[in-house]
Amino acid sequence: MKIAFFDTKPYDKPSFDRYGEAAGITFKYFEAKLNEDTVDLAQGYDGVCAFVNDTVNSTVIDRLAQLGVKVLALRCAGFNNVDVRHAYGRLHVLRVPAYSPYAVAEHTMALLLTSIRRIHKAYIRSRDFNFSLAGLTGFDLHGKTVGVIGTGRIGRVFIDICRGFGMKVLAYDKYPADGLDNGDTVRYVGLDELFRHSDIISLHCPLTEDTYHIIDEAALEKCKKGVVLLNTSRGALVDAEALLGGIKSRQVGAACLDVYEEESDLFFEDNSGHILEDDTLARLISMPNVIVTSHQAFLTEEALENIAETTVQNLSSFFKTGECPNELCYRCGKTEDCRHGKCF
């Protein structure tokens, strides 16, 4: 089987080549992102493999179907960049629902600690033999309240990490997990209560119509003054303009962003020689209390192995049996516990 692999980065190839070879799947690596301009590169391939910033809208889906491409294998968990409803009946969409949730949860805590203990500042200072501590005062996490929005795989690992630090957890999820709320250190609450009582808020829900700009101006106004916002989920969960306003007004004490609403043309690329057109991102990055990483939370050796292994298993299963347990159901957007049956 031949698969057109879009938005290839050097770190993708070793694991995909290894698992692909063992399963009889050949990947043709394209550096281009999948979109309306590049979709014809998929001509002659049995399937395409795409990542978070590829654009799989109705036009791309229709063209892929015309080209005879049967399957889209996402090498990620989120699928907000795919018009899954339009894909119904035209293209099978497979994904990697779970890969090292520890990678993302641990990166979230790394960002939080870096930010509140000013490690990013101290690192630069000490390299210049500036050993002053002025302005580096942080605060203890022990005893603080963290609001976790989305208590799926990553959210729950992050909650465990936070509990290890002696933090209290206020959780919010559209579909609360059984057995997580212990009535004491972890409690499910409504969004308003979470906003009002959290010292730190971390986003671990998918990007959907419900969650688009879940952090907007109104939400930030409800938050404690000085709240620390962590977003390692999807950029458009946060209204970046509202966040910038919150930083300027000091309502937001710090923000750590691994994702950004308009990241698709910037993140994963070296733009150091270019003038950044996005004034909001430039202003956010210029703030001393904002840390931006470029969608790297998933990037651990373990996660890359998991992603390649599951993507190849998904494709093998699909080509051998016509079915795959990780196929997305367009109706519920889930693979597990899907009560709507197969997509086709």
Catalytic residue numbers read 234, 263, 295
CB of 34 to ligand NAD, least distance (A): 18
* Sequence-distant (≥ 6) Cβ neighbours of residue 16 within 8 angstroms: 5, 27, 49, 308, 311, 312
Give the contacts of 113 (CB within 8 A, at least 6 positions apart). Answer: 119, 141
Task: Decide: is 100 part of the binding site for ligand NAD (CB under 6 A).
Answer: no
Q: Please, which of residues 214-253 interact with ligand NAD by CB under 6 A? A: 232-234
**Which 3-22 positions form the footprint of ligand NAD (CB under 6 A)?**
none
Using the contact rule CB under 6 A, the part of the chain among 60-68, 116-124, 144-152, 284-292 near ligand NAD is: 144-152
Q: Which stretch binds ligand NAD (CB under 6 A): 97-105, 119-127, 271-279, 323-331?
A: 97-105
Please classify residue 149 by burial: count the beta carbons closer than 10 Å to its beta carbon, then call 0-12 exposed, 13-18 middle and 19+ buried: buried
Binding to ligand NAD by residue 93, rule CB under 6 A? Answer: no
- Edge-to-edge strand order for the sheet containing 227-231? 186-188, 168-172, 145-149, 200-203, 227-231, 252-257, 290-292
Residue whose CB is less far from ligand NAD, 16 or 298: 298
What is the smallest separation between the CB atom of 243 and ligand NAD, expressed in angstroms? Answer: 17
Rounded to the nearest 10 degrees, the angle between the axes of helix 153-164 and helix 101-116 is 40
- Measured at the alpha carbon of residue 16, what is the angle toward residues 314 and 1, in degrees to the nearest 5? 60
Nearest CB to ligand NAD, comparing residues 41 and 189: 189
The C-alpha torsion from 71 through 72 and 75 to 81, rounded to 10°, is -160
Backbone angles phi, psi at 184, to 5 degrees: -135, -85
Among 3, 42, 154, 238, binds ligand NAD (CB under 6 A): 154
Please state the closest distance from residue 26 (CB atom) to ligand NAD, in A: 27
CA distance 102 to 164: 14
| One-letter amino acid of 112 | L
What is the contact mask toward ligand NAD in residues 257 to 296, using x (rule: CB under 6 A)?
Answer: -xx-----------------------------------x-
Kindly tell me which residue out of 17, 63, 65, 78 binds ligand NAD, with binding defined by CB under 6 A. Answer: 78
Q: Which of 19, 35, 55, 101 binds ligand NAD (CB under 6 A)?
A: 101
For the segment 117-136, give every residue that binds ligand NAD (CB under 6 A). Answer: none
Single out the segment in contact with ligand NAD by CB under 6 A; choices: 4-12, 140-148, 204-212, 315-323: 204-212
> Binders of ligand NAD: how many residues, by CB under 6 A?
31
Considering beta carbons, is residue 174 or 248 the nearer one to ligand NAD? 174
In degrees, to the nearest 5, what angle opens at C-alpha 118 toward C-alphas 114 and 122? Answer: 110
Q: Which is nearer to ligand NAD, 61 or 154 (CB)?
A: 154
Within 303-342, the residues that bind ligand NAD by CB under 6 A are none
Question: Which of the ranges 42-50, 122-130, 171-179, 276-284 carries the binding residues for ligand NAD, by CB under 6 A?
Answer: 171-179
Residue 221 near residue 252, CB atoms below 8 Å? no
- Rounded to 10 deg, the angle between the 101-116 and 119-127 helix axes is 70
Can you tell me the distance from the alpha carbon of 110 to that of 118, in angstroms, rounded to the nearest whole number? Answer: 12
Q: Residue 320, Cα to own-chain centre: how many angstroms? A: 30
> Considering only residues 151, 306, 310, 314, which one is a binding residue for ligand NAD as defined by CB under 6 A?
151
Q: 3-state DSSP call for residue 71?
A: strand
Q: Using CB under 6 A, list all residues that contact ligand NAD.
A: 77-78, 98, 101, 104, 149-155, 172-175, 204-208, 210-211, 232-234, 258-259, 295, 297-298
